[in-house]
Amino acid sequence: MKPIKVGLLGLGTVGTGVVRIVEGHREDLLGQTGSSIEIAKILVQDKSKTRSISVPEDKLTESARDVIENPDIQVVIEVMGGIETAKSYILEALERGKHVVTANKDLMALHGPEILAKAAEKGCDVYYEASVAGGIPIIRTLIEGFSSDRITKIMGIVNGTTNYILTKMSQEGAAYEEVLKEAQALGYAEADPTSDVEGLDAARKMAILGTLGFHVNVALADVSVKGISGVSKEDIAYAKRLGYEVKLLGIAERQDDQISVSVQPTMVRASHPLASVNGVFNAVYVYGEAVGETMFYGPGAGEMPTATSVVADLVAVVRNLNLGINGRQVFVPYKEKKLKTDEQIASKYFIRLHVADKAGVLAQITNIFAGEDVSLESVVQQPNATTPHAEIIIITHSASQAAVNRVLAAFGDMEGIVHEIKSVYRVEG
């Protein structure tokens, strides 16, 4: 049997890992697929660059044409990143009947439906396990493992950079800016960390997970996003005192076929499994009507974990090739999208206020909540050494987002009573 020839677009961190695995696991891959796999061409920006792995020079090319137009190449792996150029290469590869594996979360979050539709039209496979949560096989699990169940909620830590920052703030009592600089020095955060710390990276991943879990086309614009740049060490200290950890959570929920998807700093009960996910690790919690609660945990990034997911997708494509069933498992959303309104999105909330330190203030505050039918789980009032005002810490029972927004708006109008709304967090677990 002829070897399956593969074209690789990109030889950065993940691409290097893919070459290591394919070259180093030849016998295992042959045993699992029944075919030998050969990386025939690799697109690079500079053929003369010194690399951490040895690749024959004739396999390197600076022209994508040598990969996409090569009639011998049956599978194209895209690990170059970016959006528009990667999209054009993938669509052209599919047009030519080549199967595609990608690790590109930005591309799949923004243009996934178009790419999957082209794959279905051409009878080609498109796999993208590595686009979410690195080495955790969450996409295949949602498509295959939960195919007989109805998922009601997906909640996860899907960005390692922000989880590292929040973990260090929690364990060391350090300020956000201090830990961010450390994360940049270690290479966990980019020089421009906006995509990570403002929640955009996590939002793209949650759009993908929401689409797969709920069978609707969740667009990036459907995801409500709030990052961690406003999280203070005081917030984290209060959370710990009350038995919570602060995590940047992606939360996708479905009830009566209406969905909501968000990314936001969230207080997670310390006894919940997600609260103990630390450092750069990721974890995804999935609730199914039949199976109940499940959690998937592992490294969310890095050369070998991400490359492992890419090569697992490659194995799936090659198996399909040998069975003659390529293109039959392309995931296409089939349900109508119905987004929840703020009145329908409900959770518990943590609210920290600076208020006038005088009699009767707490009663006025609680009356505002009562007027919006928001019941309170706990209220703590105490002096604050850093301000002449008193500090009130409130955790509500489950309430609609709309009701809580009206409460906060009312606080904004209480001049001389509420001096500042210091922080507001969703509470889970």
DSSP tag of 143: I
Copy the structure tokens of residue 340. Answer: 């929840």
SS3 of residue 99 by DSSP: strand
Contact by Cβ (8 Å): 270, 350: no
| Residue-wise burial string across 307-342, b where 16 or more C-beta atoms lie within 10 A, e elsewhere | bbbbbbbbbbbbebbeeeebbeebbebeeebeebee
Burial of 85 (0-12, 13-18, 19+ CB in 10 A): middle
Beta strand pairing call for 37-43 and 60-61: parallel
Q: Please tell me the distance from the alpha carbon of residue 24 to that of residue 260, in angstroms, as a whole number.
A: 43
CA distance readout (Å), 109 to 10, 18, 73, 114, 397: 20, 23, 26, 11, 34
- Pure H helices in 271-389: 303-323, 361-371
Q: Which residues of 113-124 are buried (b: 16+ CB within 10 A; e: fewer)?
A: eebbebbbebeb
Nearest-Å Rg of the Cα atoms of the chain is: 24
Q: Which of 98, 105, 122, 205 is catalytic?
A: 205
| 362 CA to centre of own chain | 39
Pairing outcome for strands 390-396 and 99-102: unpaired
The owner of tokens 């987004």 is: 339
Using an 8 Å Cβ cutoff, are 79 and 134 in contact?
no
Separation between Cα atoms, residue 147 and residue 163, nearest integer Å = 30
Q: Is the dihedral of CA 157, 159, 161, 166 positive or negative?
A: negative
Q: Reduced to 3 DSSP states, what percent helix, strand and coil does the chain have, rounded to the nearest 5?
A: 40, 25, 35
Structure token digits, residue 427:
């509470």
205 is catalytic: yes
Active-site residues: which are they?
205
